[in-house]
C-alpha cells in the first residue's frame, strides 16, 4: 500500500510541477479519468515488482524522468489519434510498447551502484 501511495504522490507531484499554469491544467485534464491515473500507477508498481529490480523506479528523481517519458508518449499518441482517454486499457490497445531512455545520470548517487 505504501508503494502505491508513494507512486501516486510522485505522479501528482509531476502533474503539479508542470509550467506554465496552462500546461498544468492540460495534464490535470489528461488524468481526470481515475482509470488513467490509477492505471499508470499500477503499471509502474507492477514494473517495480519485476526481477531484476528497477532502480529507475526506486529512485524518486529517476522515477520522475520515467513518468515524464511515459506521459509524453501517452499524450502524443492521444493527440495523434484525437482520443480522450477514459481508462488505461484504452491506451494499452493503442500503445503496445513504450521504449524508455533510462539515463544513469537521472539516478541519485546512492542508486548509481546498481
Backbone angles phi, psi at 87, to 5 degrees: -155, 165
Separation CA 83–CA 75 (nearest Å)? 9
Reading the block at residue 10, the C-alpha cell is 510522485
Mean pLDDT by 10 residues, the chain (114 residues): 92 94 91 91 91 87 92 90 82 77 80 66
> What pTM did the predictor assign?
0.84
Q: 83-108, pLDDT tens digit by residue? A: 888 888 888 887 777 777 888 888 88
- Residue 113, pLDDT score: 65
Separation CA 112–CA 34 (nearest Å)? 34
Q: Where are the domains of the chain?
A: 2-113
Closest CA to 73 of 92, 46, 51, 49: 92
Amino acid at each position: 500500500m505504501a508503494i502505491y501511495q508513494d507512486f501516486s504522490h510522485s505522479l501528482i507531484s509531476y502533474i503539479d510541477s508542470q509550467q506554465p499554469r496552462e500546461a498544468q491544467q492540460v495534464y490535470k485534464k489528461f488524468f481526470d479519468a481515475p482509470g488513467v491515473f490509477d492505471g499508470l500507477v499500477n503499471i509502474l508498481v507492477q514494473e517495480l515488482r519485476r526481477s531484476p529490480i528497477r532502480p529507475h523506479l526506486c529512485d524518486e528523481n529517476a522515477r520522475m524522468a520515467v513518468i515524464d517519458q511515459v506521459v509524453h508518449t501517452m499524450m502524443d499518441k492521444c493527440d495523434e489519434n484525437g482520443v480522450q482517454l477514459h481508462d488505461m486499457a484504452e491506451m494499452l490497445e493503442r500503445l503496445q510498447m513504450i521504449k524508455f531512455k533510462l539515463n544513469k545520470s537521472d539516478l541519485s548517487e546512492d542508486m548509481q551502484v546498481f
